Amino acid sequence: MLVVRVWNYIRGYVIIRVEGINLERFINLAIANGIYFWDIERINYTAIRARVGLKGYKQLRKIKKRINCRVSILEKRGCPFLLHRVLKRKALLMGGITAIAIMYFLTSFVWVVEVEGIERVSEERIIKELESFGLKPGAFKYFVDTRDIETRLLIEMDQLVWVGINILGTRAVVDVVERTDPPSLIDKDVPCNIVAKKDGIINNIFVYQGQATVKEGDTVKAGQMLISGVVEEPDRPLRMVHAMGRVEARTWYQLTEEQDLKLTERVRTGRSEKRIALGLGKYTIGLSGKKPEFQYFDSVTDINRLVEWRNITLPVELVIENYYEVEVSEEILTIEAATELAVERAHQGLSGMLPEDAEVVDKKVKYYEMDNSRIRVEVVFETLEDISMEERIDIVHGED
């Protein structure tokens, strides 16, 4: 019935008062003519109140002539009347149109420029460059040629490898990828020493230029000088050279891993629920979705805030919660299996720590049972690697 009422409201109807002697005849005649009435109420002996559609009301005139009765409108309801009233109020209508036009106009500008993906390059610099290309708060967004600006920014800034500009509403999001520079080398002409990068035992030392200060089998600490660039020879003046050489040393990498004997595994089943809510300050209003009925689940919550403007954060946010159903399985591991797992993890961790040129010569695994439920594994990699590192010689001038 709600549908019928909504439909009647859209079409528009009037509440009429009919006065006369034989109103039953009036009703019969009306329905015989196909006029639809509803909510007929008796007011008193000579009057009824009823609702009738707009079209029906026009047709009533014919019946009025045939039966001696008086029809008056008590109320007009529905969209056509509402529309008519609104259209009559020209100022309001103009205001509404102007508001929409202004909103459309204002959303045609870029209001915020966000730079993402920067680590070393200064954000200010990028923003300044973008500004000079025409992408700045207040720029008309249809005039901003993002492809062109991307290319120009890449040409202008050597530190960037890739730039992507997306205009999302009134935000311009600039994604950048920085160039990773190779480590800077000291120029061949500049005198330098070779020092140890890390602790180790010298295995091999080849000196191309300079004077070795350690020998094979020596234990060195990080930062210790290995090959000196200051060459002292009898009967000759002191020489400063660019020390060069290869110092191969034994180094150790150690990693400790712990492992519970009770292994709980969470596997996503593929079923998920999404819940969207509107956060207003402390309150949240659910917009769609519901809390999941899963027994175990992982939840991931995204909070989207409106744009910040001059340190004013609106307390309005869109909260999207994703729930993923998981199956939890428990397994009691044997000590061997647990050790294997921990060692594998330690190996992975260690491989990440090793430099590229390091060569693993030995692996040692020690494990302890901590109590009945945990084990600890200590994995030590013994490696051979070049630990040489150039260090500039700072010449301290003595005071004359």
Partner 1 sequence: METKADVVKKGIADLLELPRDIVLDLPKITLVGNLQLYIENHKGIIEYSSGIVRINTKAGILAVTGAGLTIRTIVVEEIIIVGQIDRVEFLQ
**Which positions touch partner 1 (CB under 8 A)?**
23-24, 27-28, 31-32, 34, 36-42, 45, 48, 50
**Tokens representing residue 153 in the block:** 């920014």
| DSSP codes joined into one string, 131-180 | HHHT-STT-BGGG--HHHHHHHHHHH-TTEEEEEEEEETTEEEEEEEE--
Closest by CA to 70, choosing from 23, 32, 29, 102, is 23
Cβ contact 248:205 at 8 Å: yes
Q: How far apart are CA 52 and CA 61, in angstroms?
A: 13
At closest approach, how far in Å is the CB of 51 from partner 1?
10
At closest approach, how far in Å is the CB of 44 from partner 1?
9
At closest approach, how far in Å is the CB of 48 from partner 1?
7
Closest by CA to 142, choosing from 173, 164, 167, is 167
At closest approach, how far in Å is the CB of 34 from partner 1?
8
At closest approach, how far in Å is the CB of 59 from partner 1?
14
- For partner 1, the closer of residues 28 and 108 by Cβ is 28
- For partner 1, the closer of residues 47 and 354 by Cβ is 47
- For partner 1, the closer of residues 28 and 166 by Cβ is 28
- For partner 1, the closer of residues 27 and 320 by Cβ is 27
At closest approach, how far in Å is the CB of 75 from partner 1?
17
Q: Helices 2-11 and 79-88, interaxial angle, to 10°?
A: 40
- For partner 1, the closer of residues 38 and 309 by Cβ is 38
- For partner 1, the closer of residues 46 and 219 by Cβ is 46
Buried b / exposed e over 221-250, threshold 16 CB at 10 Å, is eeeebbbbbbbeeeeeeeeebbbbbebbbb
Cβ contact 246:334 at 8 Å: no
Q: How far apart are CA 16 and CA 13, in angstroms?
A: 9
- For partner 1, the closer of residues 32 and 396 by Cβ is 32
- For partner 1, the closer of residues 56 and 200 by Cβ is 56
- For partner 1, the closer of residues 36 and 105 by Cβ is 36
Closest by CA to 74, choosing from 45, 52, 46, is 52
Q: How far apart are CA 30 and CA 50, in angstroms?
A: 12
At closest approach, how far in Å is the CB of 33 from partner 1?
10
How would you classify the pairing of strands 192-196 and 388-392? antiparallel
- Fill in the DSSP letter of residue 310: T
At closest approach, how far in Å is the CB of 39 from partner 1?
6
Q: How far apart are CA 286 and CA 288, in angstroms?
A: 6
Residue 46 sits at the vertex; the CA angle it makes with 44 and 49, to the nearest 5 degrees, is 65
At closest approach, how far in Å is the CB of 46 from partner 1?
11
